[in-house]
Structure 1
Amino acid sequence: MIRAGVVGASGLAGGELIRLITQHPDLELTFLGGSSSIGRRPSELHPGLRIHQNLTVQPVTEEVADKVDVLFLATPATVSADLAGLLADRVPALVDLSGAFRIRTPELHDRWYPKVKRRTDLTDRFVYGVPELVGDQLKDAALISLPGCYATAITLGLAPLTLGLGLTLKTVVVDGKSGSSGGGLQLRTSDLHPFRAGAIAPYSPTGHRHAAEVGDFLERSRPGAVGKLSMSAYGVSHVRGLLTSSYVFTDDKVDQRELSRAYLRFYKGHPFVRVRRHDETLIPVPDPQVVLGSNFADVTVLHDEEGGRIVVLAALDNLVKGAAGQAVQAVNLRFGLPEETGLTQQPVMPA
């Protein structure tokens, strides 16, 4: 068994990690870490969990390295940066779900994460963990930085165009809509039910740090593939799930048939990315509600010939494929397991 620990056990992503680890056939939960919830059991923190393991939340010290083979950091970026500096060469595999190490370029990192001071010698050692795109790099990786939830959807949506067809994307404009769980458990007035219910709140209309990390990753993967990439983000009244709509402008000539074939070809053999026609089901897809509770990302590509653009839609559960599920998927590859191990749950609908 692979011994797994979760730091940030009281958070939403931490709870999802506990849920997935405890039903995984090859992972054993051996450590829970935190600060504000020390001494509490998982079932106290997450009412849906009724696991009968003799674990309570403990402070995180160097000794955790003796208890785990992999440690998940479901912590704020500032905390993850500190813990990575403490544990990077002690824990065999460290998986960070925060934004502390997602952006490699120092100036870009400082712009979007000005309060996150990280060890510069660690930055280039982290693998940006999109399993479908960097699977070979995850094998035996000691440090893995998970993409953000929006970034996962955007990157999976654009990769067949840039890394598959080799298109040069002059301009990409992203519209992102996410449920309230994307903001974690911080108490903010704007997230109170009277304001959030039924709302479409433009909380980040002129830029988002997840778009910055996508641009940083794609530039490293294929320099010059993307010109300008901008994003507007909206909060909606869902609890789980997100949808990104990427409007792509390019001088390269494509048609719908070529695009559809390229996406099917690119994701062949990748079980968690479902390439879909938007009109193939009773309701138009992708739609976040048809992936909730699962590790699937649904992706659709459309050619808007009249508008001179490519429209790429991507939907996922921000707590599973956008966080905990993708983390487990990356760990499966890290330890040589089939990537779908412990992640074969079908979506729950309606939810």
Structure 2
Amino acid sequence: MIRVGVVGASGLAGGELIRLVTQHPDLELAFLGGSSNIGRRPAELHPGLRLELGLTVEPVTEDVADRVDVLLLATPAPVSAELAGLLADRIPAVVDLSGAFRIRTPELHDRWYPKVARRTDLADRFVYGVPELVGDRMADAALISLPGCYATAITLGLAPLTLGLGLDLGNVVVDGKSGSSGGGLQLRTADLHPLRAGAIAPYAPVGHRHAAEVGDFLGRGGRGSIGRLSMSAYGVPQVRGLLTSSYVFLDEPVDQRELQRAYLRFYKEHRFVRVRRHTETLVPVPDPQAVLGSNYCDVTVMHDEEGDRIVVLAALDNLVKGAAGQAVQAVNRRFALPEEAGLSMLPVMPA
């Protein structure tokens, strides 16, 4: 069994990690780390997890290196940067779910994460990206940085155009909508129920750091390019799930059938990305409801002849494929386990 530690065990992503790791056939939950809930059991922190694992939340010290084979950091970016500096090269694998090491370019990192000081040498060593696109590089990787939830959806939506077809996308505009769980458990006035329920909140209408991640990553992909990528993000009245709509403006003509075939071909060997036709079900898809509780990302590509643009829709559960599920998928890749191990759950709908 592979011994797993979860730091940030009391958060939403931490709870999802506990849920997934304890159901995994090849993983053993061996350590729970945190700072604000020392001594508390998982069942106290997460009402849905009535588990007696013999574990309580502990402070994270260098001694954790003797207890785990992989450490999952579901912590704020400044904490992840500090812990990675402390534990790199002491643990066979560290997987970070925060933004501490997502953007490799120092200037771009400082712009979007000005309060996150990190070791430059570590930033260059982290393998960044979704497993579908960089999975081979995750094998035997000591340090893995996972994309944010929006960045995961956007990248999976655009990768067949850039990395697959090698297109140069001059201008991409992204519209993102996410449920309240994307903001974690921080207490903010805008997230109080009387203000959030029934609202469509434009919390980042003119910029989002996940868009910077996508541009930084795809710009180093080797095929195709993105000239400019801008994003607006909105909070919507649901708890889980997100949808990204990417609008790609091209001068050259495109064919809908060729686009569909290109996406099917690109993701043919990747179980967790489902390429869908918008009208294939009774409910138009992609719809975040159709992926909740699962590690799937549903992707649809369409050619808008009237608008002379490509429209790419991507939906996922931000706490699973956008966070904890993707972390387990990365662990599977890192330790040469079947990629679907512990992640075979189907979506729950309606939710």
Q: Deviations over 1:31-74 (max 9, x none)?
A: 00000000000000001001121000000000000000000000
Query: Within the alignment, does 1:278 sit opposite 2:278 as a pair?
Result: yes
Q: CA deviation at 1:222?
A: 2.9
Aligned to 2:79: 79
Output the amino acid matched with 2:92. Answer: P
The Cα offsets for residues 124-180 of structure 1, whole Å up to 9 and x where unpaired, read as 110113110001101001000010000000000000000111111010000000000
Does 2:64 align with 1:64?
A: yes
Q: Which amino acid aligns with 1:282?
A: L
Gaps of 5+ in 1: none
Q: Please name the residue that 2:191 is paired with.
A: 191
Q: Number of residues paired by the alignment? A: 351
- The one-letter code sitting in structure 2 at the alignment partner of 1:254 is V
Report the equivalent of 2:111: 111
Superposition TM-score, scaled by structure 2 size: 0.99
Tell me how far apart the structure 2 counterparts of residues 168 and 152 of structure 1 sit (CA, whole Å).
20
Instruction: Tell me, yes or no, if structure 1 residue 264 matches structure 2 residue 264.
Output: yes
TM-score, length-scaled by structure 1: 0.99
Q: Structure 1 runs of 4+ off > 2 angstroms?
A: none
Distance 2:77 2:250 in 1: 35
Task: Please tell me the residue identity of whatever aligns with 2:75.
Answer: T
Structure 2 residue runs of 5 or longer lacking an equivalent are none
Partners in 2 of 1:136 and 1:79 — Cα distance? 28
What is the Cα deviation at residue 90 of structure 1?
0.4
**CA deviation digits over 1:84-125, x for unaligned, max 9?**
000011010000000000000011100000000000000011
Instruction: Say whether the 8 Å CA contact 1:168–1:252 is kept in structure 2.
Output: no
Superposed CA RMSD: 0.7
Query: Within 5 A, what are the aligned runs for 1:301-312?
Result: 301-312=301-312
Q: CA deviation at 1:223?
A: 6.8
Q: Do the aligned partners of 2:38 and 2:56 also contact (CA within 8 Å) in 1?
A: yes
Deviation (angstroms), 1:309? 0.3
- Other structure's SS at 2:206 match: coil
Q: In the aligned structure 2, how far is the partner of 1:42 from the partner of 1:114? A: 33
Amino acid at match of 1:118: R
**Secondary structure of the equivalent of 2:341?**
coil
Q: Give yes or no for contact 2:164–2:223 (8 Å, CA) kept in 1.
A: no
Tell me the secondary structure at the aligned position of residue 185 of structure 1. Answer: coil
Determine whether 1:159 maps to 2:151. no
Matched residue of 1:50: which SS? Answer: coil
1:1-351 matches, within 5 Å, as 1-222=1-222, 225-351=225-351
The percent identity for this pair of structures is: 84
